[in-house]
Amino acid sequence: MKMPEWARVDERVAAAGFGQAVRTLPTAISVVLRLAWRTSPRLTLLAAVVHVVSGCVTAFGLLATANVFTALLAQGPTPERVVQSLLAIAVVTGSYAARALLDAAVAAVEGALRPRVTAEADDAVTAAVVRVRLIAFEDADFRELARQGARYGVRAIETSLRRLADLTSSVISLVAAMITAGLLNPWLAPVLLLAAAADGWAAARVAKLNYRHFLDTVGRNIRKSVVEEVATWRSMALERHALTLQEPLLGEYRRISRSLTREEIRLAHRSNLVRTSGRAAAGFGTAVAYLVLGWLLYTGSMELALAGTAVLAMRTASTALSNTMRAVNSLYEDSFYIGFYNQLLAESRKRQPPPTSVAAPADPGEIRLEGVTFRYPGRDNPALRDISLTIRRGEVVALVGENGSGKTTLGKLLTGLYPPDEGTVHWDDVDLALADPASVHANIAVIAQEPAEWPMTAANNITVGRLGRPDPERQAWREAVDYSGADEVISSLPSGENTVLSKKFDEGHDLSGGQWQRMGIARGIYRNASVLVADEPTAALDARAEARVFAGLQHASRSGRGRRTTVLVTHRLANIRSADRILVLEKGRLVEQGTHDDLIRAGGVYHELYEIQARAYRP
């Protein structure tokens, strides 16, 4: 499986040098900080202040400890000096108690801020994705970017906020310890940085190895996810068992898993080697620091009374350094996934329709296509080629043709759901490419061959077709139910219209394919739109139910003083004989159009298709 296009961009990041890679860290941190500030400036500022005060208290405690050691050890401890140092000891004790209280305050502030930031990040990415054009979801790369960016990006922001707080606290403690060590003797601070540099290199290297591993295995993980879904999802269960595919699917799943496991083990070995090297170098730096301290004592450059404070400062610095490197490691690794998040937001913005004040007519007198050509993302061959036609208000137009001829695609172009690559689609004098999509979609109803199975009550499955539609007497709802045949479906449910149509819920109920089609048809009729497109609406229905549904659709198209424009996409040609016009598509081109009688007399493609179906019913 080829690497997604968005991952190719990140592959260049993973291949970058250490310095270039580290420079990306502030960008990720700035994303987290901006989100935190936008979510709650008060809590963000409070967290920063508490961290700074906590670090100052740490430094003060170390310096106060130096005073205690000096008072006790400068000329040897005596009972009098112990009593005289009690105040200094109390100050040290108070500083550590204050630090503990400040740490509790930090945890409380972060506990209040982090869920808000996570919710804000989740909302931002969800809002960005739901507002993209429909055609974006035909792009497999964008679908996978949306999945990865939403899953890993939001999670990385949440963990980064926690790690950023840890980093702030540990850096302040580290700086406080370094300053204390530097005040005791200027030679102590630089030697402590040796361990920091070694740990920093190891942490960044391990993070980069992890990210490289993610990019190398992204294709296999996608395939593993697909195999897992096919092997376990209920919707695939019937054919999975009927075709005895359980063991082959399990074998494929295990094969991919073994491959990924080998990569994980190889990553663990390489990461462990890097960490060991980093720890060895950091240990060497720490040893050098203690040798410097011993040298200072040996040469008399530092008093013995201050040596205890120096050791305490070095231990504090070592602990803070370890925490700092751990936080930097996590932040550096999360920065890659926050990059996914940013990339998803940017890509979604590019795929959203531009703001416009142009509104499409609510009830177009005609829908006009001029030289329309359309290609699906990633496809070289057009799905539609040079289509020009006009559909007038009140017409019932049927689209027919073989599989893959472009019928469903044409229906989506007529309704502004897909934009053409070439040519224009007009509603009256308004080019849909320049119109506000919401003004177009508010006036269309689409009945899909495989309707959405909304996990809600049967009643709401219909009214979701037009949320907020005034229907106090429920007359419109009953009409949609009656004309679609959904009344038979609802009457068969254990709780009638109040039955939840999803097995994900206790006491939920599932429907057959034909029953879902009736619910989808009822939803389309209830929407009461000026343009109705029904795409194979009766593919899963029996003959009696099909006849009832087509009668209902004809009623829906003729109601409202004949002003509704109806487009029927179907293979069953017997049901469209009464259509005002039939458009025949072949390999993406409009090859014939006319009434049923006109096309039969012409003896072309439609006549051939009709005869193939009619022959089965002749003696």
The helix or strand, by DSSP H or E, that contains position 189, with its residue range, turns out to be: helix 188-232
Cα separation, 370 vs 384, in Å, equals 12
Q: 66 in a domain, yes or no?
A: yes
| pLDDT of 461 | 93
Q: Give the domain-ending residue among 350, 368, 399.
A: 350
Confidence at residue 285, expressed as pLDDT on a 0 to 100 scale = 72
**In terms of domains, do 469 and 545 share one?**
no
Last residue of one domain, picked from the residues 350, 377, 404: 350
Separation CA 598–CA 239 (nearest Å):
43
Structural domain count, the chain: 3
According to the model, what pLDDT value does residue 561 have? 45
Q: How many helices (H) and strands (E) does the chain have?
A: 21, 10
* 619 in the same domain as 481: no
Query: CATH number for the domain including 554?
Result: 3.40.50.300
111/54 same-domain check: yes
221-239: burial string, b at 16+ Cβ within 10 Å, e else = ebebeebeebbeeeeeeee
* Residue 346: how many other CB atoms lie within 10 Å: 11
Contact 526, 552 (CB under 8 A): no
Q: For the domain that residue 94 is a member of, what is the CATH number?
A: 1.20.1560.10
| Whether residue 503 sits in one domain with residue 465 | yes
pLDDT (tens digit per residue) in 243-279? 777 888 888 888 888 988 888 888 888 888 887 877 7
Over the stretch 206-234, which tens digit does the pLDDT of each residue have? 767 776 777 777 778 777 887 887 888 76
Structure tokens at 272: 């462990």
**Domain identity same for 593 and 543:** yes
- How much is the pLDDT for 14? 53
* 142 within 8 A of 347, measured Cβ to Cβ: yes
* Residue 374: predicted pLDDT: 96
Residues 489 and 504 reside in one and the same domain: yes
Cβ-count burial 472-483 (b if 16+ within 10 Å, e if not) = eeeebbebbbbb
What are 130's two structure tokens?
């739901």
> Does residue 185 share a domain with residue 89?
yes
Structural domain including 410 reads 356-443+530-619
Q: What is the pLDDT of residue 154?
A: 87
pLDDT digits (tens, 9 = 90+) for 320-370: 776 777 777 677 777 778 888 888 999 999 999 989 999 999 999 999 999
Classify 183 as helix, strand or coil.
Answer: helix
Domain annotation covers residue 135: yes
For residue 67, the model assigns a pLDDT of: 61
Please identify every stretch of the chain with a pLDDT value under 70, giving residue numbers as ranges.
1-25, 59, 62-89, 91-92, 182-185, 188-189, 191-201, 203-204, 207, 211, 234-235, 238-239, 302-309, 322, 329, 540, 542, 555-563, 617-619
Q: What was the pLDDT predicted at 357?
A: 92
Which value, in Å, is the radius of gyration of the alpha carbons in the chain?
35
